Amino acid sequence: MAHSTTLEPTAATTTYSDAPRTGTWDGGNEPFKASYGKLMMWFFLLSDAFTFGAFLTAYGMIRHKHGVFTGTADKFFFSTAHWPIPEKVFNGFPGLHGMDLPLAFVALMTMILIFSSVTMVLAVEAGHRMDKADVQKWLLWTILFGAMFLSSQAWEWTHFIGGDEKGTLMADGSRMFGANLAVNQYGPPLFADLFFFITGFHGTHVFSGVCLLVWCFIATTNGTFEKRGHYEMVEKIGLYWHFVDLVWVFVFTFFYLV
């Protein structure tokens, strides 16, 4: 260090203006124009998207590793040699035992979840208008649809685990009915494993969402948000709830349709 140790302003800094810098990223700003809470919810959801992305990627890889049934759908039979056609597995409906109603129940579940998303966004909209009664009304509808979805999920799992009367003849000569983590009547063991893990993980998210909504309803009723001056909490929980709906859209396509 040959130069002077005193701090002399250099040529560049002598022209420095004392006026504060006001660019978007110069600090003291909200470059994203979103509050801290909403931004953090977005980042959490992004990380959650990676979790579900990992699940669906694993599903895609494992499915492509297994054989494909090459015949037409009406000739299809359950076997560990090929991946099952979803509409042959998910063809039951509560109260209509023994009837072949492919994907009917999952269509109903999809509609329930889309409806819950709509009532959620209506609650957010009511929050913007500081309309406490409306927020309460739409939160209750969302809780109702969420609970309906969870009940449907429970039925779907029961049906999947229980299986049908026909079952499938296994290699050791026994007949397998329904599914568990080690063996199932529908096809390769990993098919049932992925079903349990993916729909289970999604169901857990819906359950957490319902818990948050119930808490949010209580806080709304107590006037917490009214006193706070805004209903941002409803918005943040809304973001989470729509994300859960979004995940279902992907699960629906990749597990039930494709």
Binding site for other proteins (CB under 8 A): 30-35, 38-39, 42, 46, 49-50, 53-54, 56-58, 60-67, 70-73, 87, 102-103, 107, 110-111, 114, 117-118, 120-122, 125-126, 128-131, 134, 226-227, 229-232, 235, 238-239, 242-243, 245-246, 249-250, 253, 257-258
Site of tokens 């977005």: 42
Nearer residue to other proteins within complex by CB, 2 or 68: 68
Task: Provide the minimum distance between the beta carbon of 152 and other proteins in the complex, in angstroms, as a whole number.
Answer: 16
Task: Provide the minimum distance between the beta carbon of 115 and other proteins in the complex, in angstroms, as a whole number.
Answer: 8
Task: Provide the minimum distance between the beta carbon of 74 and other proteins in the complex, in angstroms, as a whole number.
Answer: 9
C-alpha distance from residue 34 to each of 41, 90, 147, 233 (Å): 11, 42, 31, 13
Contacts within 8 Å (CB) and 24+ apart, 92-95: 92/159, 92/164, 94/155
Task: Provide the minimum distance between the beta carbon of 104 and other proteins in the complex, in angstroms, as a whole number.
Answer: 9
Nearer residue to other proteins within complex by CB, 178 or 238: 238
Nearer residue to other proteins within complex by CB, 118 or 144: 118
Cβ–Cβ < 8 Å for 129, 226: no
Nearer residue to other proteins within complex by CB, 154 or 257: 257
Task: Provide the minimum distance between the beta carbon of 30 and other proteins in the complex, in angstroms, as a whole number.
Answer: 7
Distance CA 65, CA 158 (A): 28
Per DSSP, helices labelled H in the chain are 11-14, 36-65, 86-89, 104-128, 132-162, 189-221, 224-228, 232-251
Nearer residue to other proteins within complex by CB, 170 or 249: 249
Inter-helix orientation angle 132-162/232-251, to 10°: 30
